[in-house]
A and B are shown apart, each in its own frame.
Chain A
Amino acid sequence: MSIFDLSIAAAAKALKAKEFSAVELTTAYNEAVAALNPRLNAYITVTPELALEQARAADSRIADGSATPLTGIPLAMKDLFCTESVRTTAGSSILEPFIPPYESTVSAKLKAAGAVMLGKANLDEFAMGSSNTTSHYGAVENPWKRLGSDAKLVPGGSSGGSAAAVAARIALAATGTDTGGSIRQPASFTGLAGIKPTYGRCSRWGVVAFASSLDQPGPMARNVEDNALLLNAMAGFDQKDSTSANREVPDFCLALGRGVKGLKIGIPREYRLEGTNPEILALWDKGIEWLKAQGADIVNISLPHTKYGLPVYYIVAPAEASSNLARYDGVRFGKRVDGEDLIDLYERTRAEGFGPEVKRRIMIGTYVLSHGYYDAYYLKAQKVRNLILRDFTDAFGSVDAILTPTAPSAAFGLDEKMDDPVTMYLNDVFTVPASLAGVPAMSVPAGLSAEGLPLGLQVIGRHFDEETVFAVSAAIESAAGFSALPELRAK
């Protein structure tokens, strides 16, 4: 068994047993990154020296007994987390020269736990995308291939670099952020597990904002347990984030073995969308059978406003983004394109600094907030958002968790779906409702498509009940026995 096949839990055990050192583990990963990243483009910035330095520190912690389960674990950090003295681009040209003088809360917590940062993972520009094709630093290649085809596939997005890195074993695990599905959909596309925690569970401080009322950091890893280990370290109250929840963080690992006996699992009829790939529906049915077999009660439920999730999302998220991205004006940090006067400077800087998808969303967001259109678009969307939250609240009156597919399809080709933004947006149809409601949701690898590509199932829980999400996800994971590996990977 290769060192790259170890999970976090297994690697931590081996480190503790001195089977290898953190420096050895990191060196192996650094070399794998150097070998595979030029092809996959999963990292925008690699930090091998920093990683080694952190690995050395990890080894002394392991020696003196102060190690945590993450000490010496090499991670990819989504390049949306500001990292002190390490360039942070958000996948955008406008932040190409930006070196943050501060460290995001989540990355600082991981640092404090002794984790090693291999580099900054690629992503859709400002996390706007579902395919990791909008990055200024180039598209990311999915390490998975369709059977008998060498066509490049997308890893999903926006945390596509994180997903590809972990799947290809050029990171043991990674951080992601999820605004409308940006952890779950790429996890599904690359055969990983990834959780979007409850809104407010992980601090947003120091994470480049896309849509503030939806953004939520979370982990991506090769199994459910690794997610629990990471979330244990990433979660927690942060005074610096006014939307951070002041509540205890349970040990999520303890929930993994709870089982699903007696749990009521909701199956929302509205997720059986017309035109959904029958493979996906079949996998969903399998998931239902697995849970039933382990003693769960399956309950048919209705989330009547499901189909309005996407239209609400594509008003709310761009509206917030149009405002959040106003600070990129070429004055205090980032790229500047000179102009005749200040307004000219703003317009040129932003025209050159932002890519087409970001501009599109800023434009839509600006429009739906503008005078005369606010009520028809933004206010209306906020009201429907409340109805979507109500759907979940009602459902959770009678069920403990909800099971759905994660995405309507498996990974698609790098050159597909690029012509029409609306078609691209449909990728998030199953993930967006949980984001709008702020509830936790996890994607678990559950099977392969006929073409040999991974497919995930999504488990949605009550606000702050990630424990049940982990319990259900672990049950699916064990039943699915997903063990397929991508073609491109460190061995």
Chain B
Amino acid sequence: MASYTLEGHTGTWEVVVGLEVHAQIISKSKLFSGASAAYGGAPNTHVSFIDAGFPGMLPVINKECVAQAVRTGLGLRARINLFSRFDRKNYFYADLPQGYQISQFAHPIVGTGEVEIELQDGTIKYIGITRLHLEQDAGKSMHDQHPSKSVIDLNRAGVGLMEIVSEPDIRSPEEAGAYLRKLRQILRYLGTCDGNMEEGSMRADVNVSVRKPGEAFRTRCEIKNVNSIRFVMHAVEAEAMRQIEVWESGGEVVQETRLYDPSKGETRSMRSKEDAHDYRYFPEPDLLPLILEQDWVDDLKAMLPELPDEKRARFCQEYGISYYDAGVLVAEQATADFYETLAKGRDGKLAANWVTGDFFAAMNRTGKSIENPPVSVEALGQLLDLITDTTINGRIAKTVFEEMVETGKMPTAIVDENGMRQVTDTGAIDEAVTKVLANNPDKVAEYKSGKDKLFGFFVGQVMKAMQGKGNPALVNEAVRKQLG
């Protein structure tokens, strides 16, 4: 594996990255209230008195949010803590109605785990998971609605989040990207978070430091709330370069919170805003310890969907396809399902080639999605069957496929309407071969004097004469026979 390093004038630097991902839990209601957790909504309509921090209001935990966190923990091959507890993180902020966030500090619900990532060059690497804990989201302040005022909408306040913290195992922007993509894929497979970074349902705090190879860790900076995978990758690079410059100019990197500005491609300090944070965590007295039953965890585990890594391995084994192709097919669960429906009882390799080839191309071209595909899985299956039972050959199949995409017709109908059935009648084939050889006596002579390459020419001519419908194997055989 080519390791990622940055060159400074004092030599080579290594980048060390750890990610804290906030993933919004898929649930109907909020973590501690019965108000809607749905995205959007008219201002302050998805809000209960609890979410708005009214006097005397008390939190009651949503069982589904707990289950989602456990499912995610299991998906990350992590330890599930049967004892966990909520703490209050105290700070004042416009969109934090209670003046504290209910989070899990000392005793998170999920402990250490790992995520397998694959890099461009095929290298496999494991990124450690430190912990996953449950916490509340904050509300939203908007600053552009009024010349001198900010306005606050509490619809997000109290929505359940999973904060997934990685070990500082990431060593390049590419690894950071691969980790986030993989994490998002797992969350989507599990149905615990939709991974939609534009709507903010997945955001990352990026911890970056640099060091000379072999050194201990140096001071890190945290870049808050980066909301796209591409920006995370850019932010890692920009922040690493900045830190190298600081160190190399004799300065010292100070631990601080920074912000990534995508328009400038650089990070800047948020220190001005951050007057001496002291969160004064302490156990949330309105909630008791969260105690899980091992049996309940086991039940959730038994009900877990097949995850991408397992599915990929099974596809290779069951359908005899390449590791690479399997990786492409399992990237999205819906694609994997499409493929598997198609491949069941058919040639898995043929199915994989069609899905990753013509089908994906058609999807891109038409702008359609796997949920609303350019051809249905039944239609594509029928096409594959026509190829396999030699009704049509591969070349004709491509033509049929294009017409399927265009007209939505079933392949048998297209084949019948256009008389595209492949000719397997050896008499007809022999006749066509005889005619081609008779029309090209000089080429036949050249072939016989040793110019083997001309064999393909004769096959091509025969197929042309038969409007592409000749069975390729039979045509080959007939040409060979007649050439002697």
A residues adjacent to B (C-beta < 8 A): 81-82, 88, 90, 95, 98, 100-102, 104, 204-209, 211-213, 239-243, 319-320, 322-323, 325-327, 329, 331-333, 342-343, 346, 366, 369-371, 374, 378
Contacts and interface: CB of A to CB of B under 8 A. Distances in A.
B286 A243 contact: yes
B92 A369 contact: no
Interface stretch (B52-60, B184-192, B295-303): B52-60
Contact of A242 (B100, B150, B282, B286): B286
A81 B56 CA distance: 8
Contacts of A204: 56, 58
Max chain A CB contacts within 10 Å: which of B49, B55, B281, B288?
A: B55
B53 A104 contact: no
- A-B pairs with lowest CB-CB distance, top 6: A326-B99, A369-B280, A212-B285, A213-B285, A327-B53, A206-B56
Given A209-B55, A326-B92, 12 more contacts: A101-B49, A206-B56, A242-B286, A320-B285, A323-B90, A323-B280, A325-B99, A327-B97, A327-B99, A332-B52, A374-B280, A378-B282
Contacts of A323: 88, 90, 99-100, 280, 282
A207 B282 contact: no
B93 to A, nearest CB: 9
B98 interface: yes
Interface string B94-130: 1001111000000000000000000000000000000
B54 A342 contact: no
Contacts of B334: none
B287 interface: yes
Nearest to A316: B285
Contacts of B254: none
Contacts of B288: 242-243
Given A212-B286, A371-B278, A326 B90 contact: yes
Interface in B36-61: 49, 52-61
Given A323-B280, A369-B282, A239 B92 contact: no
A236 to B, nearest CB: 15
A332 B55 contact: no
B49 A102 contact: yes
Given A102-B49, A243-B288, A370-B278, A329 B54 contact: no
A207 B56 contact: yes
Given A206-B56, A208-B55, A209-B56, A332 B97 contact: yes
B152 interface: yes
Interface in B267-295: 278, 280-282, 285-288
Contacts of A327: 53-55, 97-99
A95 B242 CA distance: 49
A contact face: mostly helix, strand, loop, or mixed = loop
B61 A242 contact: yes
Contact of A239 (B60, B90, B99, B287): B60
Contacts of B278: 370-371
Count chain A CB atoms within 10 A of each CB in B49, B52, B61, B99 and give the residue with the most: B99
A243 B285 CA distance: 9
Contacts of B55: 82, 88, 90, 95, 98, 100, 208-209, 327, 333
Interface residues of B, number: 29
A366 B281 CA distance: 11
Contacts of A242: 58-61, 286-288
Nearest to B277: A371
A211 B284 CA distance: 11
Contacts of A213: 285
Nearest to A343: B92
Contacts of B53: 327, 332
Contacts of B287: 242-243
A395 B168 CA distance: 51
23 contacts: A95-B55, A101-B49, A204-B58, A205-B56, A207-B56, A209-B55, A209-B286, A211-B285, A239-B60, A240-B58, A242-B287, A243-B58, A243-B286, A243-B287, A243-B288, A323-B88, A327-B54, A331-B94, A331-B97, A332-B53, A332-B97, A366-B280, A374-B282
Nearest to B273: A343
A223 B400 CA distance: 93
Contacts of B88: 323
A205 B58 contact: yes
A79 to B, nearest CB: 11
Given A212-B286, A319-B282, A323-B99, A342 B58 contact: no
Contacts of B99: 323, 325-327, 329
Contacts of A370: 278, 280
Contacts of A329: 92, 99
A332 B58 contact: no
A208 B56 contact: yes
B309 to A, nearest CB: 38
Contacts of B97: 327, 331-332
Contacts of B90: 322-323, 326, 369
A333 B55 CA distance: 9
Nearest to B34: A240
A331 B56 CA distance: 17
Contacts of B56: 81-82, 100, 104, 204-209
Q: Which of A243, A323, A342 has the most CB of B within 10 A?
A: A323
Contacts of B61: 242
B103 to A, nearest CB: 13
Contacts of A369: 90, 280-282
Contact of B60 (A88, A100, A240, A342): A240
Nearest to A244: B58
Contacts of A366: 280
B430 to A, nearest CB: 85
A323 B88 CA distance: 8
A333 B58 contact: no
Contacts of A81: 56
A331 B288 CA distance: 29
Contacts of A319: 282
A370 B52 CA distance: 25
Nearest to A327: B53
Given A366-B280, A378-B282, A241 B58 contact: yes
